[in-house]
Structure 1
Amino acid sequence: MHPWSLITPASRGIGLELARRLLRATSIPVVATARKDLDQTRENILTDLESNCEDRLSVLRVDVTDEDSMADAASACATQFDPKTNYLHLAFALPGLLFPEKSPTQIDAANALLTFQTNTLGPLLLLKHFSRFLPRKSTAISTHTDGLPPQAVWATMSARVGSIGDNRLGGWYSYRASKAGVNQITKTFDNHLRTAAAEKAIAIALHPGTVKTELSREFWGNVKEEKLFSAEFSAERLIEVVRGVGVKGRGKCWDWKGEEIPP
C-alpha cells in the first residue's frame, strides 16, 4: 500500500509551509487545497523546491463552508489514489477564523455562525468526506515512511484557548467555543479509529502557538518576540509533534512543544 498526504487549506500561512515541508522531507504525494487561485497556490508551494516535487503535488479546490467542494475533492482523490493500493497517511485539517469578542456585547450572530461553520463544522465535514481514505485494521500500511509518523495521523488545528480547564482570561467567546468543539470532535473521531483502525490510525488536535499569519496579525504587538513564530518554524514543529506523539497520545490536543493541553 502506498501512502499520501492531505493539507487543507494550504494557500498560505501554516498550511502552505506544511505542504512545502512534506514535499521536501518525504517522498509521498501531497494533496493541497485552496478556496481559489489554485494555480497561484501551486506556484507558491513549489517556489524554490526541487523539480521532482512538482509531480507529487496536487492542488484541489476546497471551501470548508461549501460541502459540495469537499465531496468533489474527495472524489478526485479517490480517482487519483485507488483505495485498493493507496491510503491517507497524514492529514492536516487547518481551517481557522477569529472574531475576538472582548465582551458579550461584541458578539455578532453572523460572525459567530461563520466562526463555527469554519472552525468546527468545516473539520467535521472534512472527516465525513476524507476519513474513508485512512487505513483500516486490515490495511498493510507502508513501513517506508521517512519523515512521517509510523501510524497514520489525522491532525486538526485547535488552539490553547479552546481548553476549558485552561481558560483564565475569558473573552473570544465564539473562537474559544469553536476550538473546544474541535477538541471534542478529535476525541470522538479517535474513538472511532480505535475500533476501525486499531493502532494503524489516530486522531489528534494541535496548537501551533502564535504564528505570524493573517489570523493573528491584530495581536502580534501583544506577543513577546520569542513567542511569535514564523509559519516555517510552526510547520517544522507541528510535523515533529505529529511524528512523536505516538499511539499513547491519541485523542488529545498537543502544543507546538509536544506538551499536552488539557480539555
Structure 2
Amino acid sequence: MAPWALVSPASRGIGFALTRHILQTSRVPVVATVRKDRDVVKEQLLDGLGADEGRLHVLECDVLDESSIEAASSRCEDLFPVKEGNGLHLGLVIPGILFPEKSPRQIDADNALLTFRTNTLGPLLMLKHFEHFLPTKQINNTSASEVEGLPSAAIMALMSARVGSITDNKLGGWYSYRASKAAINQVVKTFDNYLRTKAGDEAFSVGLHPGTVKTGLSKEFWGSVKKEKLFEREWVAERLIDVLREKAKKVEESRGRCWDWDAKEVSP
C-alpha cells in the first residue's frame, strides 16, 4: 500500500506547521486543504524547504460545506486510488474556532452553531468522506521504509482540547467551545471502535491537545499564559507527530483516547 498524509486545514497555524514538518521529515505525498488561495498557500508551504513540489497537493476544502469535502475526497481518489493499493496513513483533521463565553449571557446562538459546525460536525463529515482511504485488515502492504518519519500504524487524529474534558473542568466558561471539544472526544472514541472492527491494529483514531499555541485562535489569551506554556507552532507540530509515533507503538493502549503535546492522556 502506497501511503499518503492529509492535513486539513493547512493554510495557517498548527496545520501549516504540521504540513511543513511532514514534508521535511518523511517521503510520503501530502494533501493539504485550504478554503481559498490555493496557489499562494502552496508556495508558502514549500518556501525554504527544498522538498519535492510534486509531493504536495493543495486542495480546496471547507468543512462547513459537505459538497466541498466530498469533492476533495473525490480528488484524492484520483490522486491515490484505493484499488491500486494506495492508503491514507496519517490524517490530521484540525479545524477550530473559539468564542470565549465567560457567562451564559454571552452565548450567541449563531456563534454557538458555527462553533459546533466547525469544531465537531466538520471533522465528522471529514471522517464520512475519507475513512475509506484508511487501511483494513485485508489491505495494508505498507513497509516501514515507506512511512519513515511517520507513525508505524495508520492514524486518524482529530483536534481536541483539554477544556473538552468534563473531568478536568474546574473553571467553567467557554460553553460552546468546551461542548464542541467534548463532542469531538466522543467522535474519536466512536470512530475508533469502527476502525477496531474494520482495521484491527492497522489503523486507529485519537484526539490531540496541542496546548496553548501562538496562533490566531489563542491570540487574545497570550498575555494570561505563562511564557513556558505558550508554544510556537513549529515546536508543537514536531511534538504532536512525535506523540503519534510513540502511540502507534502501543495501539491497544493508545486508541480512542485524547493525548496532549507531552504524550499524557487528557481525561474524558
TM, length-normalised to structure 2: 0.97
The offset of 1:120, in angstroms, is 0.2
Conservation of the 8 A alpha-carbon contact between 2:140 and 2:202 = no
The offset of 1:17, in angstroms, is 0.7
Conservation of the 8 A alpha-carbon contact between 2:210 and 2:240 = yes
Whole-angstrom CA distance in 2 between matches of 1:140 and 1:64: 28
Conservation of the 8 A alpha-carbon contact between 2:10 and 2:19 = yes
The corresponding residue for 1:232 is 234
Whole-angstrom CA distance in 2 between matches of 1:168 and 1:235: 28
The answer as to 2:152 corresponding to 1:150 is: yes
Matches within 5 A, 1:53-72: 53-72=52-71
The corresponding residue for 1:12 is 12
Whole-angstrom CA distance in 2 between matches of 1:53 and 1:229: 28
Whole-angstrom CA distance in 2 between matches of 1:29 and 1:180: 32
The corresponding residue for 1:115 is 115
The answer as to 2:263 corresponding to 1:258 is: yes
Conservation of the 8 A alpha-carbon contact between 1:24 and 1:53 = no
Identity of aligned residues (%): 60
Whole-angstrom CA distance in 2 between matches of 1:244 and 1:141: 21
The corresponding residue for 1:28 is 28
The answer for unaligned runs of 5 or more in structure 1 is none
Whole-angstrom CA distance in 1 between matches of 2:11 and 2:137: 33
Matches within 5 A, 1:45-124: 45-50=45-50, 52-84=51-83, 85-124=85-124
- CA deviations over 1:61-96 (Å, ceiling 9, x no partner): 010100010000000000110102200000000000
The corresponding residue for 1:40 is 40
- CA deviations over 1:6-33 (Å, ceiling 9, x no partner): 0000000110010001011000000000
Conservation of the 8 A alpha-carbon contact between 1:60 and 1:73 = yes
Whole-angstrom CA distance in 1 between matches of 2:183 and 2:38: 30
- CA deviations over 1:199-234 (Å, ceiling 9, x no partner): 000000000000000000000000011100011011
Whole-angstrom CA distance in 1 between matches of 2:129 and 2:81: 15
Whole-angstrom CA distance in 2 between matches of 1:35 and 1:156: 18
Whole-angstrom CA distance in 1 between matches of 2:48 and 2:195: 37
The answer for unaligned runs of 5 or more in structure 2 is none
Conservation of the 8 A alpha-carbon contact between 2:8 and 2:93 = yes
The answer as to 2:208 corresponding to 1:209 is: no
Whole-angstrom CA distance in 2 between matches of 1:261 and 1:139: 32
Whole-angstrom CA distance in 1 between matches of 2:97 and 2:31: 22
Whole-angstrom CA distance in 2 between matches of 1:199 and 1:53: 31
- The alignment yields a C-alpha RMSD, in angstroms, of 0.6
Moved over 6 A (4+): none
Whole-angstrom CA distance in 2 between matches of 1:103 and 1:64: 28
Q: How many pairs are equivalent? A: 262
Whole-angstrom CA distance in 1 between matches of 2:68 and 2:154: 24
The offset of 1:140, in angstroms, is 2.4
Whole-angstrom CA distance in 1 between matches of 2:195 and 2:259: 18
The offset of 1:141, in angstroms, is 3.3
Which amino acid is 1:223 matched to? V
The offset of 1:127, in angstroms, is 0.1
Matched residue SS, 2:59? strand
Whole-angstrom CA distance in 2 between matches of 1:138 and 1:75: 23
Conservation of the 8 A alpha-carbon contact between 1:16 and 1:45 = yes
